[in-house]
Structure formats: structure tokens, C-alpha cells
Chains A and B, each alone.
Chain A
Amino acid sequence: MRNYSVFDIIGPIMIGPSSSHTAGAARLAKVAAAISGGKIVRVEFHLHGSFAETYRGHGTDKALVAGILNMDPWDENLKNSIKIANERGIGVTFIPTDLGEVHPNTVKFIITKDDGNATQVSGSSIGGGNIFIFDIDGQEVEFTGERPTILTKHQDLPGVISKISSILYQENINIANMRVYRKGKGKMATMALETDTQVTEEAMGKIKNIKEIENVKFINPIVEGVI
């Protein structure tokens, strides 16, 4: 029997009409944009299942674009997101498709930045506004974005993970959850590391400087608090 906060029952505060099709979609896109980073110029949304069938009626399209624009799921400007994206010169395309054996509310983002580089992110909206990300650029991952998350792409060598965890220890940041994914021994690995408290600037800087790390992203949770 799971435990609930009162705000799981009376909440989230959100833009309607649907916690999974609107609030969850905005949350997914906001995390996807954070994973991409940089100046986004074009986004393709590949919509699966219920997202593909009902995205217009539920405003899933507007919610997704709002997330890309870094809006929160409770931002009253959410319904104007497509217009705002147009004004900022961000191209958006919605492509109903079949992504295979995935959750019915799934979207694959292809996010292109002004330097021409593209990032692919896939995630699902699993109810009540909750989400999980399960694929980044073809690499399997799994995290929910409910906690501060560190995403690394690093060489699979002994000691890399230990370097990261000692930096966090020095900054008194507790690790809540950690998963490492790799294509093969000694090749590139991906790690999703969730922490209990905010990752400090100091820790971010030190982690970025670890030489085996090719790329690192810090993703902040979307915390409602007092609106």
C-alpha cells in the first residue's frame, strides 16, 4: 500500500483538461527540452497511442509546445504556446505514429538546435501528471524527473562513477537512485543519477570537469510548491 501526500490527492494545480494528456505532456516536454539544452529551433513530436488519437481535443499539442518553451504545467499561458513558438521562430510538427510496445501516452521528441544538432527523447505520461523518460538518443534510460537528475554520457572505465559520487559526497548531496546503461564493456555508458537535494553549482562544475565524461546534463524537478 503506497503512501500519499495530501497534495497527491488535492493536486496537482494544472492547466486542464487532463492530468495525463495535458499536465503530463507539458512536464515531459519541459524535461525533454532540458535534456536537449541549447537554443531550440525545431521540434518534431511523434505521438503514440492515445496521444496520437486525441491530442487536439486534450490540448496535448499545446501542452507539449509549452513544455518546450520551458513553461510549467500550471502556466496560464500554456494555451497560447503554439502562437508563442511561432513568434520565436520555433518550428513544431505533430506526427501521429506507432512507437511499438510502449505506454499508450507516449511521445518521441526530435529536438533540433540552432547548431544543427538534434536530440531524440522518448517518454510516457503515466497518469496524474507523472512521467518517465525511457530513451535518449537511442540509449535506454529510466527516470521520472521528480528529483534533481544528473545525466551523464561517459567512458565506461573504472572509477568514473566513484569520482561523481565523491563530488556529491563532498557537497553533502545524497544519491537517491542511480542507474548505469552501456552498449558494451569499455564503450560509452549513460548514467541517470537522482539526488535528494538540489545539485550545487560547485558540484556541477566539478562533475563537468571529470575527463572521462563526454557530456553531462542537470535536470531540475518541476516542483509545484506555492503558486
Chain B
Amino acid sequence: MFVSTGKELLEICKEKNIPIWEYTIREEIEAVEVPREKVIERMKSTLHVMMNSSTYAQDNIVKSVSGLIGGDAYKIRKYAESGKTLTGEFMNKAMARAISSSEVNAAMGRIVACPTAGSCGILPAVIISAGEKLNSSEDQLIQGLFTAAGVGILIAKNATLAGAEGGCQAECGSAAAMASAAVVEMMGGTPEQALTAAAIVIKNILGLVCDPVAGLVEVPCAKRNIAGTVSALTTADLVMSGVYSKIPFDEVVWAMYKVGRQMPAELRETSQGGIAITPTALKLKKEIFKE
């Protein structure tokens, strides 16, 4: 059975001298009783869906069903290639990838919930952008997804991945933490560094509320996927430079869970607080549901 804490995970990885992704694959094989190739093959098919969703809205102007969002991935992609960016082509391409999946999701296209549909842009954008920069093979991207899944399992076991329970920190925060840990392992970091990255990402997003305008997975969700992507990528660099987290991963996850419990229901996906009840949000809601 998959370990219950980050501390145990690090002990096992150290004892067996394996990365988090390898431990996660081994546990999956044992839990579902299917051969290793099948588990890998299914993750490969998942990666392919991610590749499509993170590309599609960069090449095509996509509009959401409600009309609230769309077209931003296309814009950012063009800008990324303009040579005029502040944070460079790498970061801008990553941002375009993140919002592409969110736009595809809102337009009823095919995505991978990772961990949720609302946060579906982060993991693909981070893994694919980092992979492009690091010249990673497809196998290495798949390994990254297993690292991410392992970290996600720990968060699911000890906290929650649902906005309705823990706010956006539980969705976009978890997605970014999973993604950052994955990139650290892709860059050759240790399991300990991977969990350090996850801890730092969560600390930086702690308390983020879930307040979707008109109850739709569009505003502010799509741009929070961009924010999560940037945080995951910069944190990976931070950790690879040798920076550590004073507070360990397990305790940060515990804090996230506690903060989620302390959040009023208005700020947990009910659209009764935060951005969702601003005058403009209420006006947009009225326009969307006018019929």
C-alpha cells in the first residue's frame, strides 16, 4: 500500500535508492495487479491527451460555452514568440500551454483532470515545458507524471484535492505542488528536494479561495492555472539551487488541510464569496443565465 506520509516516502526511496516516480509505479502495479507495461501505457495515453489540450487553444481561438473565456492561449503564444517578453519565451510558452488546457476544458474539449478539471492546465504545461527545455524523452515525461501522482496521492490522503472542501489551494495548489516535484525529479533532484518543492509551492498559495464566477470553471480558474504553472517552474529552480523549506512537506499539507477546514463555505466553490460576488461577476452571471 502507498505510504501515508512524505516522511515514510523519503525513507523508502532512500532505503531502496529509487526516485518517487519508481516507487509510485511499483505501488500502482501491486495495488491494481496489472503488469508494469500496462500502467506505463495508460499513463502514456494520458500524456498524449495532455499534449493535445495544452497545444490546441494556442493554435485555434477557442471560446468557452458561456463565452466568458477564450482566445488567451492564442494571444500569449504569439507574444511568447515576439521577442519582447520580460520573462522570456520559455515562461510565456508555459503560460500559453497552461491556459490552453483550461480553455479547451471550458469549451467542452478533452482534458485530463489532474488532479481536477479546474486545475487541468498546470501539470501538462509544467511537464511539457520543462521536458522541452531539458530535452527529456517521452519516457521521462511519463516518469514525471508518476512523480506528480505520488505527491498527489499523499495530498489526497492527508488533505483534500477538492475545491468544495479545501478551496483553490487544494486544486491549483496541489496541481502546482505535484508539478514542481515532478520537474525536480526530471532535473535530477532527490526525492527530498522534490517534496521540498511541493512544500514551498503550497506555502506560497496557502489560503487561496475557490470563487468561480457564475459557478463556472472559467473565471478566475483559467488564470490561476497560469499562476500555478509559473510557481511550479520557478520553485523547481529555487530548490535545485539548494534552497530548502524550513517546514517539512507533511506539515505544510496538514496546514493546508486545516486552512481549508477553517474557510467559510462561501469561499469553497459555492460562488457566494470572493471574486464571484463582485459587481462585475454578478452582472456577468446574469448575462450568462439570462434565459
Which residues of A does B touch, CB under 8 Å?
A: 1-19, 22-23, 50, 53-54, 56-59, 62, 74, 76, 78-79, 127-129, 225-227
Contacts and interface: CB of A to CB of B under 8 A. Distances in A.
B49 A15 contact: no
A95 B66 CA distance: 20
B36 interface: no
Given A10-B112, A17-B117, A226 B148 contact: no
B120 A225 contact: no
Interface string B201-233: 000000000000011111000000000000000
Interface string B248-291: 00000000000000000000000000000000000000001101
Q: Which 5 pairs between the two chains have the least Cβ-Cβ distance? A: A16-B105, A9-B152, A6-B149, A79-B108, A17-B217
Contacts of A22: 108, 117
Interface of B: 1-2, 4, 24, 28, 31-32, 39, 41-46, 49, 64-66, 104-118, 120, 123, 145-146, 148-150, 152-153, 156-157, 161-162, 164, 178, 214-218, 288-289, 291
A1 B4 CA distance: 8
Most B C-beta atoms less than 10 A away, residue of A15, A62, A78: A15
A9 B215 contact: no
Nearest to A14: B113
Contacts of A225: 42
A57 B66 CA distance: 6
Nearest to B52: A76
B260 to A, nearest CB: 15
A2 B106 CA distance: 30
Given A19-B117, A54-B215, A59-B65, 10 more contacts: A4-B153, A6-B43, A6-B149, A10-B114, A13-B49, A14-B111, A59-B108, A76-B109, A78-B108, A226-B45
Contacts of A10: 43, 46, 112, 114-115, 123, 145, 148-149, 152
B107 A11 contact: no
A129 B162 CA distance: 12
B215 A53 contact: yes
B201 to A, nearest CB: 16
Contacts of B64: 17
Contacts of A6: 24, 28, 39, 43, 146, 149-150, 153
A227 B114 CA distance: 16
B60 to A, nearest CB: 14
B74 to A, nearest CB: 18
Most B C-beta atoms less than 10 A away, residue of A17, A23, A127: A17
B28 to A, nearest CB: 5
Nearest to B27: A6
A169 B256 CA distance: 48
A79 B104 CA distance: 12
Given A10-B123, A16-B106, A225-B42, A1 B117 contact: no
Contact of A57 (B24, B111, B178, B214): B214
Nearest to B150: A6
B110 A74 contact: yes
Contacts of B110: 13-16, 74, 76
A4 B156 contact: yes
Contacts of B216: 17, 54, 57-58
Contacts of B105: 16-17
B276 to A, nearest CB: 12
A128 B150 CA distance: 18
Contacts of B218: 17
B41 to A, nearest CB: 6
A128 to B, nearest CB: 7
